[in-house]
Homo-oligomer: A and B are copies of this chain.
Amino acid sequence: MNEQAAPGRVGDVRRRNLSLVLDSIARNADAKPSRAQVAAGTGLTKAAVSSLVADLVESGLVSEVGLYRDGERGRPGQGLELSSRRGVVGMEINVDYLAVGLVDLGGNLRFSSTVESRNRGLKPGAVMEQLAELAGQAKAAAASAGITILGGGLAVPGLVDEQRNIVLSAPNLHWEHEQLNPQALLEGAPLGVRLSNEANSAALGELWYGDGPADFLYVSGEVGVGGGVIISSELYTGPGGSAGELGHIVVHPEGPSCSCGGAGCLETFAGQEAVFEAARIPEGSLGGRTELLLAALAADEPHAKRAVRDAGRYLGIALASSARLMDIEAVVLGGHFAVLADWLKPSVLSSLERYAPGLLEPESLTVSRLEHSGTLLGAAGQVIRAVIESPFEFLLGKPA
């Protein structure tokens, strides 16, 4: 007998409805809905909602926030919200910085801190030590605000094995199959620390806390070119968990060889390194290469303009192919591409028009406004979503 699905038990109904109620409170966080409003929104009866909310309040996931008098008549309701006294720590390792943020269950960034750090080539251990210091700051901030930390999310710019806490490959850090121990960053957090990919986390951040629609492709132009695919408000990771590698789509069969071993990849045309080089902005320039590039663009410097135009053209090709294959209807530009958006967008759009006319509307190509915090929010958000999706685990084993 080959089976997979678990049998439905009577108690599953309650698990599902606990999640449904919690999700409803999360979605309507602005309204601080009452039990009656949650009942109307979910389709459950008031009686059922009362019972479910009682469990959620007892577990500490939901708080009552005083009376709520909005209507004209009748008894006022008790406003409900995800507890602001439970939080998750978002963390990010990137090529030239480290960052942490403390996010409460409601998705508010209550504390954050970033330090520059040239991590390329450093051993994971050394980087994790530095990150632990930052995590300590977040823990201190949580303690002084009376927030219990439930868990954490750690985003890295590479492919990860989430189950086993391994960074399979992060070429821009020069990491290859590195075992990490992210749990050590937050000793004692009941949900532990979840490892994730940077572009994927940024995409989720955009979905939950930015302007992302239910279906879009997030394009992250950090040192590498990464992507995150959101379908029906869920991250699409593919069977092996490494979907969204937009940077290694082949955009020219005679293109230069790529660090991935292939050739003609988008990253060889639109990666930061390729753009800086084509724009003739040497490595180690004083004042920062990005700033110099922006200055050159503002000054109409021809190499810079051409470099960005070409990057946009090939990005357009990759987006056209992606849209055909995955039926993508919207694109959000992040990272480096968000910074360059004013110069990049026109050539991306004209390239899309040439290679896939009518497929993507110009309005559906948007630019992220979350900047770096998007990745932190997304990394933490994955743990928050895990709580919202199965709050049952919290009902008995309540954290202090």
Interface residues of A (CB under 8 A from B): 1-3, 5-10, 12-14, 16-17, 20, 23-24, 27-28, 31, 33, 37, 40-44, 48, 214-215, 227, 229, 231-232, 236-246, 248-253, 260-264, 313-314, 317-318, 320-322, 324-329, 354-358
17 contacts between A and B (CB under 8 A): A1-B24, A1-B31, A1-B33, A2-B27, A8-B12, A10-B10, A215-B239, A238-B326, A252-B253, A253-B313, A253-B355, A261-B356, A262-B354, A262-B356, A263-B355, A321-B325, A325-B325
B243 and A239: CB pair below 8 A? no
A1 and B28: CB pair below 8 A? yes
- Nearest Cβ in chain B — how far from A225, in angstroms? 11
B250 and A239: CB pair below 8 A? no
Q: A8-B13, A240-B329, A261-B357 are in contact. Are A249 and B324 (CB under 8 A)?
A: yes
- Nearest Cβ in chain B — how far from A198, in angstroms? 16
- Nearest Cβ in chain B — how far from A322, in angstroms? 6
A215–B237 CA distance with the chains assembled, in angstroms? 12
Residues of B within 8 A of A5 (CB): 20, 23, 42
Residues of B within 8 A of A14 (CB): 8
Q: Which residue of B lies closest to A248 (CB)?
A: B324
Which 8 A-B residue pairings sit nearest by Cβ, starting from the closest? A238-B327, A1-B41, A215-B239, A243-B327, A8-B16, A8-B13, A261-B357, A249-B321
Q: A13-B8, A23-B5 are in contact. Are A251 and B253 (CB under 8 A)?
A: yes
Residues of B within 8 A of A355 (CB): 250, 253, 262-264
A314–B24 CA distance with the chains assembled, in angstroms? 48
Q: A33-B1, A322-B325, A325-B326 are in contact. Are A317 and B253 (CB under 8 A)?
A: yes
Residues of B within 8 A of A262 (CB): 320, 354-357
Residues of B within 8 A of A8 (CB): 12-14, 16-17, 20
A317 and B33: CB pair below 8 A? no
A328–B317 CA distance with the chains assembled, in angstroms? 20
Instruction: State which of B41, B239, B264 has its C-beta within 8 Å of the C-beta of A214.
Output: B239
- Nearest Cβ in chain B — how far from A233, in angstroms? 9
Residues of B within 8 A of A245 (CB): 324-325, 327
A298–B316 CA distance with the chains assembled, in angstroms? 41
Q: Which residue of B lies closest to A245 (CB)?
A: B324
Residues of B within 8 A of A326 (CB): 236, 238, 243, 325-326
A93–B251 CA distance with the chains assembled, in angstroms? 34
A358–B249 CA distance with the chains assembled, in angstroms? 15
